[in-house]
Copies of this chain bind each other. A is one copy, B any other.
Amino acid sequence: MSQNHRPTIHEVAKVAGVSISSVSRALNGNTSNTEMVERVNDAVRQVGYVPSVVAQSLKTRHTGQIAFAMEDIGNAAYLAMVREIQPTLRDVGYRLLLHSTGADVEDELGVLDSLSQNYVDGLVLCPLRVTERHVAALRDTPVPVVVIGLLPDDVPVDNVRADSRVGAGMAVEHLYEAGARRIGFIDGPVDTVPGHARYEGYRRGLDACGLPFDEELVEFADFQFEGGRHGARSLLARTDVDAILGANDLIAVGALHVLRELGRSVPDDVRVIGMDDTTVAATGFPPMSSVSLGSADRGRIAAQLLLRRLDGDTSPPERVTVPPSLTIRESTL
């Protein structure tokens, strides 16, 4: 908290004895006269000049900022994305703005609307759901947007997605191969995009293995540790299983705890697998297998796609799907 007046380009010009246009050119590398450049640099040092990014933004019409909007940065999948997006952007000089929208769809739309305020050059968006208003807003957004998650095919926006349907299917098949025949499934809320996709994947996985679908085996819960515990308790109170698939790692770890409380051994009595392959999977006990949905990859790819657009690429919208993969640990051996 200090001097009341930061030096502007005018002061630099005065000290250097040149015009402000020359200062600007010198600083932006648009002059070939090295003596001029030196004089300007000296003056810059002397007065301690730092350009105002706000004024630059106003003039150049870009801000050097990119926003990332998701539901909750506390969610490990989004966290993994941020950890890739931030360095990717920073390396090329962009700053990252974080919007946690909470479970509020209005807030999410608010972010989209606010893009017209021109405070960012682009947006990476992880929508909770995709409503018609989303589609409308995405159709004529004032800045490039990349959506991570499911998106109707006709929305002209770059899109990177995981295939959690396939991922859930893979998990089921993996459990089947490990010997499981009654595979319980604790899903997240079915009215969310991932909840729905994983439910489908579970069913397809059963089909692929020739196992019958039994709705007794399915439980719905929050995507949280406590959700997983409640889900597992209800499930196990109702029926018996020899494997459990959790729709994410927290749910699965919750199930792990309940199984121990009930004295069931993992993996000998019951195999357990989660999804997202986050830290809690590795640190759980026993170390838990999980379906990696490539969150980090999706984040990085989204950032790269966005940067391409900002570079002026006008090719048709891209649609990238990151394939899931299994990380096998002790809970399904």
Contact = CB atoms under 8 A, between A and B. Distances in A.
Contact of A280 (B58, B83, B279): B279
B117 A52 contact: yes
A192 to B, nearest CB: 20
Given A1-B144, A54-B118, A57-B54, A260 B285 contact: yes
Given A73-B79, A82-B73, A3 B97 contact: no
A26 interface: no
Nearest to A85: B98
B98 A96 contact: yes
Given A142-B6, A225-B282, A87 B100 contact: yes
Interface string A174-211: 00000000000000000000000000000000000000
Contacts of A225: 279, 282-283
Stoichiometry (number of copies): 2
A262 interface: no
Contact of A54 (B50, B63, B143, B280): B63
Interface string A60-82: 00010100000011100001001
Contacts of A63: 54
B119 A95 contact: yes
A51 to B, nearest CB: 7
Interface string A106-138: 000000010011110000000000000000000
Does more than half of chain A's interface fall in helix, strand or loop, or is it mixed? mixed
A253 interface: yes
B141 A1 contact: yes
Contact of A98 (B3, B82, B113, B116): B82
Contacts of A87: 100, 102
A86 interface: yes
A92 interface: no
A57 B73 CA distance: 28
The 3 closest A-B pairs by CB, nearest first: A2-B140, A285-B285, A50-B116
